[in-house]
Amino acid sequence: MNIKETLLKAKNEKYAIPQFNINNLEWAKYILEVCEEEKSPVFLGVSSGAAKYMGGFDVIVGMVNGLKKDLNITVPVMLHLDHATTFELCKDAVDAGFDSIMFDGSKGSYEDNIKTTNEVKNYLKGQLLEAEIGKIGGEEDGIANELYFTSVEEAEDFISKTNIDMLAPALGSVHGIYKGEPDIKLDIMKEISDKTNMPLVLHGGSGIPEEILKQAVQNGICKANFNTELQLGWHKAVLEFVENNKDVYDPRKVISSGEEGLKNVAREYIRILGSKGKA
Ligand code: 13P
């Protein structure tokens, strides 16, 4: 099955493939191990900031390919560039061997968003393309964004003018930690899905209650992104370890003390999204 078919299968069968964002070798390894155990397909999300942190796109492609081979990973793994705000970043990730690209032109004008989305599409060599309209709020790579809701009309118009594979509409989810209860516009989500039949992506998955995530999947979400909760799960376990083991300085022991904390979060989202056993 190619990656487009993997995505459409999720949409048709009403489950969602998780996107777990990676920050380093350990993150990638732990996530691949969990997804293999749970037999879940996965998008490994890489923000531009995380790409820079890890050394660059070539490092990441080499690392992920090496892990897949050495750990005998058999589930579909889509290495995905998250929130690239320029054509050049998308081009570089394609050239390095990424499988899936998100061009995020939501900060510029609507017309420019359409124009650059199409330029990226024309450059692709078989990769999936995700675009964002409206503005997803919260913080991404330390930069705060305002929230601006996507309308059904805008989604229909954008899709008719671009040839994208997935759309991330801004419907109330935010990146990072929610202030109060998340207010996700599930009715608009369903209307966009019904009218366009486009695979929809939920950003800012961390902190959204289970019932809302499940409804979002029923309403057309077939890829859901998680970053912050993985970090929090890892951090809590590492803090506990460090407090009790102040004299341990081996980085392998310190970093891997968060392994189960991170893996438990990933396992829980795989269960909620219904992607367990779908690989
Ligand atoms: P969270 O950090 O809120 O889970 O968001 C992740 C995300 O949407 C990445 O694109």
**Per-residue pLDDT at 139 exceeds 80:** no
Residue 55 falls within a domain, yes or no?
Answer: yes
What's the number of domains the chain is made of?
1
Cα–Cα distance, 52 to 30 (Å, whole number): 20
Residue 82 is a catalytic residue? yes
State pLDDT tens for residues 200-247.
999 999 999 999 999 999 999 999 999 999 999 999 999 999 999 999
Cα–Cα distance, 252 to 254 (Å, whole number): 6
Residue 178 falls within a domain, yes or no?
Answer: yes
Residue 278 falls within a domain, yes or no?
Answer: no
Q: Residue 138 has what pLDDT? A: 73
Residue 70 falls within a domain, yes or no?
Answer: yes
State pLDDT tens for residues 235-248.
999 999 999 999 99
Q: Residue 142 has what pLDDT? A: 66
Per the CB < 8 A criterion, the answer to whether 169 and 155 are in contact is yes
Query: Which of helix, strand or coil describes residue 133?
Result: strand
Interval between CA 203 and ligand 1 midpoint (Å): 5
Q: Residue 141 has what pLDDT? A: 63
Q: Residue 178 has what pLDDT? A: 84
Mutate to test the pocket of ligand 1, among 173, 178, 206 (most ligand atoms within 8 A of CB): 206
Going through the chain in order, the beta strands assigned E by DSSP cover 17-21, 42-47, 77-84, 100-103, 128-133, 137-140, 143-145, 166-169, 174-175, 200-202, 221-226
Domain that holds residue 129: 3-273
Question: What residues does ligand 1 touch, defined as CB less than 6 Å away?
Answer: 21, 45, 82-83, 175-176, 203-206, 225-229
CATH number of the domain encompassing residue 37: 3.20.20.70
Cα–Cα distance, 173 to 202 (Å, whole number): 8
Q: How confident is the model at residue 143 (pLDDT cuts 50, 70, 90)?
A: low
Interval between CA 126 and ligand 1 midpoint (Å): 25
Q: Residue 22 has what pLDDT? A: 98
Half-sphere CA count of 184, side-chain side, radius 13 A? 27
Residue 279 falls within a domain, yes or no?
Answer: no
Per the CB < 8 A criterion, the answer to whether 146 and 137 are in contact is yes
